Structure 1
Amino acid sequence: MSAAPVSVNPVSPAVPPTPVVATPDTVLPVAASAAGAATALSAPTMLHPLVRPGGASAPAAEPAATTATVTGDAAAAAAAAAEPEPEATPEAGPDPEQVLAAYEWRFHHETLRELVDNPDELREIRDRLTEKLTPATDNPTRARLLSLRAVVSRILGDLTKALSDGKMALVHAEATGELRRIALAKARLAHVLQWRGDFTEADKLFAEANSSELPDRLRATMHEHAGRSCLDQGRYMEAFNHFEKALELRKVEDPELITRTEMALDAVSMKIAENGMGPYPRSMDEILQVSKPPVPRFDERVQCWGFAGTDGRTVISPAFADVQPFRDGAAWVRRPEMETWELIDEAGTRLIDGRAGWLGVGSFSDGLAWVSRDGAGNWVAIDKQGRVVISTGFEDVRPFRRGLAAVRRGGWGAVDKQGRAVVPFQFTGFATALTDGRYVDGFSDEGLAIVDAGGRKGVVDRTGAVVVPPVHPALVIHPVAFLIAGPSGRWGALDRKGRPFIDPELPSRQVVMEELDRLLADTKPVL
């Protein structure tokens, strides 16, 4: 994504410290919530009784049974990868980001919303964030500071300011193209929308933000907050599922999260006792507001393929000898009398005629599809109007993913949607493996790809820069590191700049992941 223009002035100027007054803007009434939803609150910073999870200092995590040699300041490096670090500030006094990260929050035992004893202290933190924000001109810094200021404004009940900052933070975050930064901005904006009662959009943003490519600690915190949103709506079973997932993701001891989650489960149990179970959990498609496309169905009577809707009814009559599933709103179909493919939309309207002459076709992705006249090579990319966008004929291709596609011309490389070579054609293949068990064709959501050079693996980013030279027998992308296997088959890790992090002396990559979890135990995302 191209960088958006950077706004120099902060979106919301600092306000003088005035008492918080409950207004309709503090927490908006919910027009149509699920059965048994919590009553909208009027002053979230002034509620009682109070609950402080983990009042005592959390005990240090016990060392893993299998120890590893950690190179350099590993804990700091892991924390930096888990969430972008604030830049050093020359100002005197405590850094507001560090103060916010170390803040001990209290929570209402029923609503699970943050409470503060001293609103003036938070206003001072917000003012200090504004001081850091004013001279900032780069998208990463403005995304981080605006979204943190949105957090503070939300907790103070200034939801209009929080919404403005949260939306602008997301604009700046998306301009960076960085997965973690975008996810944090989405989650913080979602939390503001939840407090405003805009649950549909809040839940959608929480779901979009919670990528499996993020660190487990951050994902667990996102599930925790998504569960709170469900609790507000009376979706108690769904809330329970989120809280359980938060615990499941934290494989190392996390007393603070455990305490908060136990409190959340108690709140759910209390609401269920009062109001019943509430509605059944929604599917991910429902939360993301994604409509399912028609699916292929073979008609035995006419011996042809058509398409059926989610209710099983025929929506596109059976008239095709062969079909492909709908992707990106379009599907390739082939009529009995033709050898070439035509393209239709979800209503069955023809977009590209079979007379265009494509014998080989690939599904659409990012608005483009690879097609070939002989079905064996010379692949070119077209749009849904049939216009050739990339005319270079490639020997083999993979679908576009986030603007890039792996292609082969002699060796494997990658091109962007204009056909410009981003990764040179010098590799024997792409082998992008993620720690969640997935293999990706080309680049991950984070813009990283594992390349194979004669059996040795390395990492390139979406600009084509080599992050890890292809010298490792095996390599897997971890949310905060790269897991590598040494010549002896033992595992270690590199940091996100490709530098040695954990020496390859552990028996399996699972043990390396557990060691990384242990090193990240002290990081605490602020959402």
Structure 2
Amino acid sequence: MGSDAARAAAAGSDAPAPTDEPAHAPSGAPEPAPAGPTVGGTPEASSAPGTPPADPAPVPQVGSAGRAGGDGDADAPSEQTDPPGSAPGDDGSAPDDDRARAGTPVAEASPDTVLPAPEGAAAGAATALAAPTMLAPIVRPGEPNPAAEPPAEPRGTEAPAGDPEQVLSSYRWRFHHETLRELVEDPDELRAIRDRLTEKLEPATDNRTRARLLSLRAVVSRILGDLGKALSDGKLALAHAEATGELRRIAIAQARLAHVLQWRGDFAEADRLFEEANSSELPDRLRATMHEHAGRSCYDQGRYIEACNHFERALELRKVEDPDLIARTELALDAVLTKVAQKGWGPYPRSRDEVLQAHRPPAPRFSERVQRWGYADADGELAIAPSYADVQPFRDGVAWVRRPETETWELIDETGELLVGASAGYLGVGSFSDGLAWVSRNGAGSWIAIDKTNTVVISEGFDDVRPFRRGVAAVRKGGWGAVDKSGRLVVPTRYSGFTTALTDGRYVDGFTDEGLAIVDVSGRKGVVDRGGRVIVPPAHPALVIHPVAFLVGSGAGQWGALDRRGEPLIDMVHPSRADVMDEIDRLLADTKPVL
């Protein structure tokens, strides 16, 4: 199934089928001038006073932002439209080729668009932009434009026809060969698109729509250099996205905000958000784009080994040919090698925990001398004395411990202070998650949920339980179902079990971060969400959750796929799951995230 309808189904239920028309640069965009003589890869400047500099080198043009739908945002339109900009001359001004003949130059980004580099430890890192990086002469207020003879009439600032999200999705960006940042050919055009996004945003009241439009407006403001506006929109968009509880929407808002923070020079927080957003449950194309942007953030900081690791990972995730990604990666690697030749490779790559700025709680340590368990800090120093017969790792800031003289468990914090004593009588305990833990006084059943003050939150005694995950926990009472943090049954206890398998080989204990679970009824599998809605009835011998689909197997070696509504997407004729995943990648080949 390689049809447009199949592509739309794979990209998301709300996304219309993409057209086959390629994206184009905005109409009226000037072409870069031919390169003049170069020295060391840069245009050679004339040393004679009054002699104009040589023409700048051509700026590479590669596709970056694709459709706002697909992997980028499930609710955003994915159909391509005409690119932004009006036809040359339709506003009474001279066409661009006439302007070029009139002597209006096409300038690349220059140091005038970037704040001065900081001194000290941060020297060498890219700095926050004071204005958009432009393919136009830089003219400051009160100063004449020496290149204009005569000045062309200003172009209209009305947004091009079509939905602003679709216009953005089909926009093909140029990237500066050194900063790796988008080049702006017509700031007024982007400002008009931003105004159109604002018009769509004003009547919107639901969190999904506001998260999408605010974060897209942040993208436009970032590229225009309005980083204060971009930061405000990005933070508000993330708040709306988190209110939806939807993994992909939250991840996209995080990545767009991270990109703004990167341009502002707040690299630690930008890197943390890029890393946090890049969940293995997301589509590979979206993950690849996040790695690409994380690599650019590392490049800005002079972390060139780490940048190369991200660029390599982006290419690995794209198992199908992706000319745009390859072109952008080649441009980035060329820039990295140029910097390495000047400054070296920079710091050694950080670990994931270092990037996430993750707190490292004390870890269990056994003392051979006293034959007891205690805890050591991140430096290996003793943090809590070895006085326990058994311990559990710290989770959610607390840990269960058991003293030699009793069979019941106590709860302590990271300083060793007692929160729940052994007198509570818990013979069975589970780790805290989402602020709650399952406990049992007989150790075999009748599980209840308590908070860290030993207040009973869920008093229903369940036969078996699983930890809470994003507000929902799998429970068994007769059959398996699920409850929320208030104890309300959100999935009826009528299933044989939860068998949630992911395409990366992992099995999840209950629900995924996206809020999906595979349920089993007498060997037949289906899918439910954390609200209890049955998406795929339990009728399939084999079922695996894919980031944008569900892989289904016949039990006799044939595999196919359903879309996220449970409707047929790929016929069950393929000999392996890998073949089906390759087919899904082909269906998604022309959907690109806008970050």
TM-score normalised by structure 1 residue count: 0.85
* Higher Rg of the two aligned structures: 2
Matches of 2:555 and 2:528, distance apart in 1: 21
The answer as to whether partners of 2:127 and 2:265 remain within 8 angstroms in 1 is no
Matches of 2:383 and 2:359, distance apart in 1: 14
The corresponding residue for 1:327 is 395
Of 232, 249, 262, the residue aligned with 2:330 is 262
Cα offsets for 1:188-231 (capped at 9, x unmatched): 11101111111111111111111111110000000000111111
The answer as to whether partners of 1:34 and 1:279 remain within 8 angstroms in 2 is no
Matches of 1:288 and 1:421, distance apart in 2: 34
Matches of 2:338 and 2:362, distance apart in 1: 42
Matches of 1:135 and 1:40, distance apart in 2: 33
Residue 312 (1) aligns with residue 400 (2): no
The letter of the residue matching 1:416 is D
The corresponding residue for 1:37 is 125
The answer as to whether partners of 1:29 and 1:197 remain within 8 angstroms in 2 is no
The corresponding residue for 2:61 is none
Q: 1:214 to 1:30 in 2, by over 3 A?
A: farther
Matches of 2:289 and 2:167, distance apart in 1: 19
Cα offsets for 1:4-28 (capped at 9, x unmatched): xxxxxxxxxxxxxxxxxx9999869
Equivalent residue runs for 1:386-465 within 5 Å: 386-465=454-533
Of 182, 185, 189, the residue aligned with 1:121 is 189
Residue 46 (1) aligns with residue 134 (2): yes
Residue 375 (1) aligns with residue 443 (2): yes
The corresponding residue for 2:54 is none
Shift of 1:360: 0.6
Matches of 1:29 and 1:443, distance apart in 2: 47
The corresponding residue for 2:313 is 245
The answer as to whether partners of 2:401 and 2:412 remain within 8 angstroms in 1 is yes
Matches of 1:139 and 1:27, distance apart in 2: 36
The answer as to whether partners of 1:48 and 1:108 remain within 8 angstroms in 2 is no
The alignment partner of 2:366 has SS state of strand
The corresponding residue for 1:209 is 277
Of 345, 350, 367, the residue aligned with 1:299 is 367
Residue 93 (1) aligns with residue 181 (2): no
The answer as to whether partners of 1:380 and 1:391 remain within 8 angstroms in 2 is yes
Of 214, 225, 230, the residue aligned with 1:162 is 230
Shift of 1:46: 2.4
Which moved further from structure 2: 250-259 or 286-295?
Answer: 286-295
Which moved further from structure 2: 22-31 or 229-238?
Answer: 22-31
The answer as to whether partners of 2:129 and 2:225 remain within 8 angstroms in 1 is no
Matches of 1:30 and 1:470, distance apart in 2: 60
The alignment partner of 2:461 has SS state of strand
Shift of 1:47: 6.5
Of 414, 422, 432, the residue aligned with 1:346 is 414
The letter of the residue matching 2:125 is A
The letter of the residue matching 2:432 is F
The letter of the residue matching 2:134 is M
Matches of 1:129 and 1:189, distance apart in 2: 17
The corresponding residue for 2:56 is none
Cα offsets for 1:298-345 (capped at 9, x unmatched): 111111111111211111110001111111111111101111010111
The alignment partner of 2:545 has SS state of strand
The answer as to whether partners of 2:563 and 2:569 remain within 8 angstroms in 1 is yes
The corresponding residue for 1:57 is none
Shift of 1:43: 3.6
The alignment partner of 1:214 has SS state of coil
The answer as to whether partners of 1:30 and 1:197 remain within 8 angstroms in 2 is no
Shift of 1:164: 1.1
Q: 1:155 to 1:108 in 2, by over 3 A?
A: same
Cα offsets for 1:110-167 (capped at 9, x unmatched): 1100002111111121111112112222211111111111111110111111111111
Q: 1:191 to 1:31 in 2, by over 3 A?
A: farther
The alignment partner of 1:523 has SS state of coil
The answer as to whether partners of 1:26 and 1:158 remain within 8 angstroms in 2 is no
Cα offsets for 1:380-438 (capped at 9, x unmatched): 11111111111111000100000000010000000011111000000010011111111
The count of aligned residue pairs is 466
Shift of 1:41: 4.6
Q: Which runs of 5+ in 2 are unaligned?
A: 1-109, 138-158
The corresponding residue for 2:173 is 105
Equivalent residue runs for 1:477-516 within 5 Å: 477-516=545-584
The corresponding residue for 2:432 is 364
Matches of 1:265 and 1:357, distance apart in 2: 61
Residue 173 (1) aligns with residue 206 (2): no
The letter of the residue matching 1:242 is H
The letter of the residue matching 1:135 is P
Q: 1:26 to 1:427 in 2, by over 3 A?
A: farther
Of 502, 524, 534, the residue aligned with 1:466 is 534
Residue 518 (1) aligns with residue 581 (2): no
Shift of 1:506: 0.3
The answer as to whether partners of 2:268 and 2:355 remain within 8 angstroms in 1 is yes
Q: 1:143 to 1:24 in 2, by over 3 A?
A: farther
The letter of the residue matching 2:311 is F
Cα offsets for 1:277-296 (capped at 9, x unmatched): 11111111111111111111
Q: 1:28 to 1:438 in 2, by over 3 A?
A: farther
Q: 1:333 to 1:162 in 2, by over 3 A?
A: same
Matches of 2:479 and 2:167, distance apart in 1: 51
The alignment partner of 1:174 has SS state of helix
Q: 1:180 to 1:29 in 2, by over 3 A?
A: farther
Which moved further from structure 2: 176-185 or 22-31?
Answer: 22-31
The answer as to whether partners of 1:36 and 1:234 remain within 8 angstroms in 2 is yes
The corresponding residue for 1:355 is 423
**In angstroms, what is the RMSD of aligned CA positions?**
2.1
Q: 1:229 to 1:33 in 2, by over 3 A?
A: farther
Matches of 1:188 and 1:274, distance apart in 2: 31
The letter of the residue matching 1:483 is L
The answer as to whether partners of 1:476 and 1:484 remain within 8 angstroms in 2 is yes
Identical aligned residues as a percent? 75
Of 294, 297, 311, the residue aligned with 1:229 is 297
The answer as to whether partners of 2:115 and 2:129 remain within 8 angstroms in 1 is yes
Q: 1:27 to 1:146 in 2, by over 3 A?
A: farther
The answer as to whether partners of 2:527 and 2:537 remain within 8 angstroms in 1 is yes
Which moved further from structure 2: 472-481 or 173-182?
Answer: 173-182
Matches of 1:133 and 1:324, distance apart in 2: 49
